Amino acid sequence: MYSKSLHGGNNNPSNSSLNNNGNGSNSGFGTLNSRIKKATPLPITIAKKNAQPLLNAYGLPISAGGATLSRGNKNSNVDLTDKIRVCVRKRPLNKNELRRGESDITELAGKRTLVINEQKTKVDLTRYIERHAFTFDDVFDSNITNEDVYKRTAAPLVDYIFTGGKATCFAYGQTGSGKTYTMLNEKNGLYVLAASDIFSMLNHPEYVNIIPHVSFYEIYQGQLYDLLNARKKLFAREDGKQQVCIAGLTEYECFSVDDLMKIFGHGNNVRSTGATGANADSSRSHAILQICLKDKTKKMAVFGKFSFIDLAGSERGADRGDADRQTRMEGSEINKSLLALKECIRALDQVSKHTPFRQSKLTQVLKDSFIGNSKTCMIATVSPNSGSCEHTLNTLRYADRLVFNLYKHLK
């Protein structure tokens, strides 16, 4: 099994690696790569006559000209300063998947395209593979470390918040696909790496009046809870300028990575987790860690803000085999909020007069991530095993739709 830090539970630094097999190795996703080659190969031999054309996110053959890539040509250059960036990260096969003989159904085609080899059966019981191609801003293979992911995702946003902007980086995907490990790992999660750069920038003379404040809260079953104040219930409200404010949210001044890790550890201990059929220690809430820069010469007005969001698992409770009623209710609320997020994106795409940010607490607190002086990076995490094929395709289609809508509207 991977360390619990992958799933948002006990983020012990000694277990910080996804591939920690008890030998102290913690070199990121790469440790299991040599073992992946030993996995049972695809049990389907495809004759040339049964080969299927490469399909896009909507099931249309790319060779037929019906597939237009959401971000342009797959070989075109990517601007790390885009207002909205969507990336994909693939984790390695875990011990249980290797033991079951599951195969890796994902393959990278260049630096920006991920191909999914979906195993299917025709009416005449002929077995074949349907190949789906998805192109994003970046695709990270299983041997890519958190540090490398950071350089292509959150690092450009650190510079942006020092220009007075608001930045958001969030992870989306199936339970157990690596969201929490990527975003909130205590040793080298993106928030730790970004905080290190932020505190370094604050040492420059021009930022002597900027004070960093840290807050940490979760959205659990449609309600906000302060993880730094014994899970006190919070309320999100809009001020006269239509800016969302969270009343009573605890904030701590923070000037070093060590202080930040202590604050995070305190809050993470009370975050809502639970056992599911997919993960023994699964995150059951959306967790939001914010680093807010405030100017003490302007009555502590917000100068810049960086939000790190670890979204809860996106699949249905029925898919995980959960018979527990509470777990199913949690899953229902999680997917309701994710659906509301998609509806907001759709409204932005259609340039609607009304964008339904109030449909859920998640979209309400994310409002300033999509409008105004803001930039956002989404990291979709996927599981490569054949048993997770449907969830992986759903995650990639969700991310592809976000690219298609947001990029067209915001670029």
| Binding-site residues from annotation for ATP | 173-180
- Residue 388: partners with Cβ closer than 8 Å, 6 or more residues away: 174, 177, 382
CB contact at 8 A, 194 and 154: yes
Residue carrying the six token digits 């991530």: 369
Q: Cα separation of 132 and 106, whole Å?
A: 10
- Residue 65: partners with Cβ closer than 8 Å, 6 or more residues away: none
Q: Cα separation of 160 and 12, whole Å?
A: 31
Q: Cα separation of 5 and 113, whole Å?
A: 28
What letter represents residue 311's amino acid? L
Antiparallel, parallel or unpaired: β 138-140 and 84-90: parallel
- Residue 125: partners with Cβ closer than 8 Å, 6 or more residues away: none
Host H or E run for residue 146: helix 146-152
Paired tokens of 234: 């919070």
Residues of each annotated binding site: 173-180
CA distances from residue 21 to 175, 188, 189, 387 in whole angstroms, order as listed: 20, 18, 19, 22
Q: Cα separation of 365 and 344, whole Å?
A: 12
Q: Cα separation of 348 and 365, whole Å?
A: 16
Please tell me the number of Cα atoms within 13 Å of 128 on its side-chain side.
Answer: 15
